[in-house]
Amino acid sequence: MMNYFYVPLLILAFFSLTQAEKHEIEYGIEDISGPFVKYTVHIVNAITPKPGSPILQFHCQSNDDDLGVKFPKPGEDFNWSFRENLIGSTLFFCSFNRGQQSASFDVFNHDLDDQCKQCYWLVKEDGFYFSDSTKLYQKRYNWK
Ligand SMILES: *[C@@H]1O[C@H](CO)[C@@H](O)[C@H](O)[C@H]1NC(C)=O
pLDDT of residue 5: 72
Instruction: Give the mean pLDDT of 121-128.
Output: 97
Ligand 1 pocket test target in 25, 26, 29, 32 with most atoms within 8 Å of CB: 29
Closest ligand 1 atom to residue 27 Cα is: 5
Query: Does residue 58 contact residue 69 with C-beta atoms inside 8 Å?
Result: yes
pTM for the whole structure:
0.80
> How many domains does the chain divide into?
1
Give the whole-angstrom CA distance, residue 55 versus residue 62: 24
Question: Is 132 buried (19+), middle (13-18) or exposed (0-12) by CB count in 10 A?
Answer: middle
Q: Whose Cα sits closest to atom 7 in ligand 1? A: 28
pLDDT of residue 133: 75
Query: Does residue 43 contact residue 94 with C-beta atoms inside 8 Å?
Result: yes
Distance (angstroms) between ligand 1 centre and the Cα of 77 equals: 6
Distance (angstroms) between ligand 1 centre and the Cα of 82 equals: 15
Tell me, rounded to whole angstroms, the distance of Cα 99 from its chain centroid.
23
Residue 49 belongs to domain with CATH number? 2.60.40.10
Query: Does residue 102 contact residue 58 with C-beta atoms inside 8 Å?
Result: no
Q: Is the pLDDT of residue 132 over 60?
A: yes
Distance (angstroms) between ligand 1 centre and the Cα of 10 equals: 39
- Domain of residue 117, residue span: 4-29+36-141
pLDDT of residue 135: 76
Closest ligand 1 atom to residue 76 Cα is: 14
Instruction: Give the mean pLDDT of 33-41.
Output: 80
Instruction: Give the mean pLDDT of 85-113.
Output: 88
pLDDT digits (tens, 9 = 90+) for 20-34: 556 778 887 666 667
Instruction: Give the mean pLDDT of 78-96.
Output: 86
